[in-house]
A and B are shown apart, each in its own frame.
Chain A
Amino acid sequence: MDKPIRVLVAKPGLDGHDRGAKMIARALRDAGMEVIYTGLRQTPEQIVAAAIQEDVDIIGMSILSGAHNHLFPKVIGLLKDQDAEDIMVIAGGVIPEDDIPALKEAGVAAIFTPGALTTEIVQFIRDNIKR
C-alpha cells in the first residue's frame, strides 16, 4: 500500500469557528490522507508536540480571529527549535492580503483565504509534500 500523507489539522488560539477546519479535514480524508484532528484551542506548543508524535508531513491551521500574525510564526519557530522544520505548514482563515507576505516569509508554505476550494488545497499538498 502507498504511504498515506499524514496531516495535522488544528485550530490554534481561542477562535471557535471550526467549520473550515472540519471541511478541510473531511476533504483531505476523502482524498486518501490520514488526518489527525486535534480540535479547538490548541496552543502552538501543543500543535508542535502533536505533529512530532504523529510524524505528520504537514500541519494545516485555520484562524478567523485575527491572531494569525502571532500564532502561525510561533508554530514555525517551535518546529525549528525542535529540528522539525521539514514539516510543512499551511494555513487558512480570514487573513488580510497585506499580512500574507510576512507570513510566507516566516515560513508558511501556503495561505488559503475564504473561497478557496478544497481541491486546490489537496492539490497543493500533493504537489509540495517532501517525501
Chain B
Amino acid sequence: MFEKEKFEQIKEARKNWEEKDLNKSLSRSPERKEEFKTGSGDIIERLYTPEDIDDLDYMEEIGLPGQYPYTRGYQPTMYRGRLWTMRMYAGFSTAEESNKRYKFLVDQGSTGLSVAFDLPTQIGYDSDHPLAEGEVGKVGVAIDSLADMEILFDGINLEKVSTSMTINSPASVLLAMYIAVADKQGVSPEKLRGTIQNDILKEYIARGTYIYPTEESMRLITDIFAYCSENVPQWNTISISGYHIREAGSTAAQEVGFTLADGIAYVEAAIKAGLDVDSFAPRLSFFFNAHNDLLEEVAKYRAARRLWAKIMKERFGAKKPQSMMLKFHTQTGGSTLTAQQPDNNIVRVAIQTLAAVLGGTQSLHTNSKDEALALPTEDSVRIALRTQQIVAYESGVTNTVDPLAGSYYVEAKTKEIEDKAMEYITKIDELGGAPRAIDAGYIQKEITDAAYKYQMDVEKGDVVVVGMNKFKVDEKAPQGLLKVDPMVGEMQKKKLVELKAKRDNPAVTEKLTALKKACEGTENLMPYIVEAVREYATLGEICDVMREVFGEYEQSVML
C-alpha cells in the first residue's frame, strides 16, 4: 500500500522509537496492564502504523463507497444523502396498546416501525394455548388472527411506513396478515416496504423461537423468497441476524462468521429450490449488534460488508451489484446494559450508536436505559431515540462517508475480523454447512465457550463493567417500570372465543385442509397461508397444520 522507500523509513523510525522513546517511557512508568484486549477478548497492540496495513491493496480491499467490495459503504453518499432509518422495536400487551405506542413513535420522529411479538405468537401458539400461560403480551404484542393485526395497524398508512417484523418460524403467517391488512386499506402488495426477520438458523443457535425441523423451515423461507420476488418486490424477505448470536455471548468475529455462514445456507437453499441468485439476493438483509468497543465494532461492520461481497461474487457468481451489497439493521447490545445504575446505560447506548453509524448501518434501534429491568417506558424510549437524533444532527460524524477508513488500527482490525470470520466459515463448510454445524452443536458450543470466558473475566475483574463490578453504589430499586397488564391473556382468550363464533368456520376448515395438502406436496405455501389468514384462521391453527405435517425441531445443546 505504501512506496517501498517510504515504508522502509517508517519501519526504521518505528524501531528507533521502540528502542529509545518507548523503552524510556516504559521504564519510567509501566503500562496499566500487561495485555490490552478488545471487547471480544482479542489482544490489541500498543500502536498501529502503516506496517500493519501494508499488505492491503486499497482498490481491492477498501475501495470507494458504492463500489465493490463495499468496505466503505454500499452507497456513494451515505448519510450525506439520507440518514439511517431510526427504527424503534416496540410492542407489548394487546394490539390496541401497541398501536398507541406506534403512533407515539411516529409522532416523535421515528421513521420506521418495528414490531415485537410476544413469545406465543413467535412460536405459533394462540393466546389460549396451555404453553402460552403467563407469556401473553409480555415481550411483545399478542397476535392471534388477522383481527388483531387490523387493530395493530389501525390508522397507520401502510403505503407510507416501512415495517420490520421480528418474526421467524411463523414469518409467512404474519407476512400474510400484513398483506391482508394492506389490502383492506387499499394498498397493493407491490407497494409494501419492510422486513421480516425470517432467520430460523439463528433461532436454533441462539434465540430459541423455533418450531419446525431444519429442512421444512428452510422450505418455508425459500417459499417466501420466491413469493415476494413476484408479489411483494420491495419487501426484505429475511434479516440474517448476528444480533442474537452476539447477545448469546459470541465475539465480534464469531458474530460475522456465524451470521454469514447462515447467509450462505439460505442462498444455497434458494438456489437448490431453483431460484436465480440475482432474483432474491438483493432482498437479503442483515442485522447486527452494537457493543461498547467502538473501534472493534466499526471494523466488524466493515469486515462483514467486504466478506459478504466477496462471497456473493466469488462463491455464488452473483452478477447484480445489489446482490453483493450487505445492508444491515443494527440494535444496540441488550446484554451490555446493567441493572445497576441504569442511567449509565444511556451513555453505553450513545457509544454503540456511534459505532453503528460509523460502521454504516442502514437502520438502528437504540435500547432504552431500563431494559435490563423490564420493558421500556415511553420516557426512556424517547431518550433512546433522542440519542440517535443527537448523533445524526449534532455529532458531525454523518458529514463524510466512512470517516474511520484509513485508520491503521481500524483497517488492520477490519482485516483481522474478516480473516477470523472466514476461518469460521471454512470450518462450518467442512462440517457440511450451517444447518449441520448447528445440529452437531458446534456453533452453540463456540458461543457458549466465548460467553463463559467473558463471564469469568468479569468475575475476576479483568473486564470492568462500570457500576456492576467497579464503581458500585448502594441504590434503591428503580421506580416507574412498565408493567404489562396481567389480564392481557384473558382478554386475548375472550377475543378468540368471539372470533371463532363470528367467522365463517366451514371456510376456515376448507382453507386449512388445502394448506395441509400443500404442505404434504411441494407447492409454494404462501398463497395458501394468505387465503387461510383472510378467512381469519388463527395463527395457532395455521401453525398446527404445519406442525402436524412437518413435525417439530429438537434443540441441540452442547455445554
Contact = CB atoms under 8 A, between A and B. Distances in A.
Q: Do chains A and B touch in the complex (CB under 8 A)?
A: yes
B131 A14 contact: yes
B340 interface: yes
Nearest to B486: A69
A115 B208 contact: no
A19 B203 CA distance: 13
Contact of B375 (A13, A22, A26, A66): A66
A22 B135 contact: no
A96 B372 contact: no
Interface in A78-111: 94, 96-98
B410 to A, nearest CB: 29
B247 interface: yes
Given A96-B373, A115-B340, A18 B208 contact: yes
A49 interface: no
Interface in B249-303: 249
B451 interface: yes
Q: Which residue of B123, B138, B209, B248 has the most chain A CB atoms within 10 A of its CB atom?
A: B138
A19 B481 contact: no
B151 interface: no
Interface string A23-66: 10111000000000101110100000000000000000000011
Given A16-B207, A65-B119, A115-B340, A70 B373 contact: no
Contacts of A129: none
Interface residues on A, range: 20 to 34
A70 B455 contact: no
A37 B208 contact: no
A16 B209 contact: yes
B452 interface: yes
B339 A43 contact: no
B139 interface: yes
Nearest to B120: A14
A98 B249 CA distance: 28
A65 B452 CA distance: 22
A20 B247 CA distance: 11
B374 A19 contact: no
A53 B207 CA distance: 29
* Most central of B209, B555, B559 by chain A CB within 10 Å: B559
Contacts of B335: 19
Interface in A107-128: 113-115, 117-119
A42 B133 CA distance: 12
Interface residue range, chain B? 35 or more
Given A13-B135, A98-B477, A119 B459 contact: yes
A34 to B, nearest CB: 13
B134 interface: yes
Contacts of B481: 96, 98
Contacts of A18: 208, 248
Contacts of A69: 134, 486
A15 B459 contact: no
B138 A40 contact: no
Interface string B116-160: 000110110100001111110011000000000000000000000
A94 B203 contact: no
B188 interface: no
B134 A37 contact: no
A126 B559 CA distance: 23
B208 A15 contact: yes
Contact of A65 (B138, B373, B451, B468): B138
A122 B373 CA distance: 23
Contact of B131 (A25, A41, A96): A41
B557 interface: yes
Nearest to A38: B557
Nearest to B92: A66
A86 to B, nearest CB: 25
A75 B317 CA distance: 55
B463 interface: no
B311 interface: no
A23 B456 CA distance: 10
Given A40-B555, A115-B338, A97 B207 contact: no
Nearest to B207: A16
Contacts of A118: 455, 459
Nearest to B123: A14
Contact of B339 (A14, A15, A114): A114
B138 A26 contact: no
Contacts of B465: 115
B167 to A, nearest CB: 14
B484 interface: yes
B340 A15 contact: no
B468 A67 contact: no
A19 B247 contact: yes
7 contacts: A19-B451, A27-B452, A114-B337, A114-B339, A117-B458, A118-B455, A119-B459
Given A19-B448, A70-B134, 14 more contacts: A14-B209, A15-B139, A15-B208, A16-B206, A17-B248, A41-B208, A65-B119, A66-B139, A69-B486, A97-B478, A98-B477, A114-B372, A115-B339, A119-B459
Interface of A: 13-19, 22-23, 25-27, 37, 39-41, 43, 65-67, 69-71, 94, 96-98, 113-115, 117-119
